[in-house]
Amino acid sequence: MQKSLAKKRNRLGPFVMTLLIIASAAPLFITHADANTIGNYPDIPGGVPGNTVQYNKTNITPVGDMTQVKAGEPALFRYRNMTMLMNCTQNCTLVVTANPEVTPKILGLSLEPNQTMTLTMNMSGSPQQGATIMERTLNFYWGLEPNAELQLSAQLRLHINQTELNQELNREVNASILTWMYWNRTQAEWIPVESYMDQNGYLVCNTYHLSTWTVAEVTEVIPEFPSLVILPLFILATLLAVIVYGRKHSV
């Protein structure tokens, strides 16, 4: 009898080992499958790239939640009150905090820094770091603070659902004049940045610096870099002055 049981155990051994190997590899297969099919998520307007890595944390409101985002590898973060698709051309350590008072938002953030970075991200319903409360905002402030001075270009996106906004803010929101704005610490004022609505319903702006940002209804937008317009006009005015001066003294 004991010999018979020993034979059965010997036969079952390889089978059990095979099951254990398959079980241990299962998470890898699931992750790979998610990466290939992640673009089919219907709740994210416009979808996401097929090679996106998903961090599913819908059971928490993040407080100092730290994640390593690899260069060129899109990352989809799902928290209780925030969904964000992020892409960075350099390795980035992302530290996220979102105040529970912030209603669910769908965001996009694309970064092209000139070096690796640590980015501290804070979402709240009121401004931080001494910024004043901006009128006609969406009760949403997005603090983006890199760990060092660096050169970068960035694109910020916020999905706009006007019906939900009207209900949330208890007023009629004019989506056609919604504009991204950042807090200028030197001037101690909010600076509007040229923004546009893309085909997927995101309010988009492009910038060359990170700060505390908000979205508000603004009727007049001053270009973020007016010198790009003023400089050619200054050069033209100088040339005209030289020509006029030369004509007067040549007579």
Distances (CA, A) of 95 to 65, 69, 146, 163, 165: 5, 10, 10, 31, 27
Q: Provide the b/e sequence for 149-168 (b: ≥16 CB within 10 Å).
A: eeebebebbbbbeeeebeee
* Pair (68, 25) in one structural domain: no
CA distance 37 to 50: 6
Q: What pTM was computed for the model?
A: 0.73
Query: In angstroms, how far is CA 175 from the centroid of its own chain?
Result: 20
**Cβ–Cβ < 8 Å for 207, 146:** no
CA angle at residue 135 from 129 to 136, to 5 degrees?
A: 125
* Pair (67, 190) in one structural domain: yes
Domain count, the chain: 2
On the question of pLDDT at 37 being above 50, the answer is: no
Residue 200 counted as domain residue: yes
Model confidence pLDDT, tens digit, residues 169-208: 999 999 999 999 999 989 999 999 999 999 999 999 999 9
Model confidence pLDDT, tens digit, residues 133-147: 888 899 999 999 999
- Domain span holding position 2: 1-40
Residue 232 counted as domain residue: no
The SS3 assignment for 71 reads coil
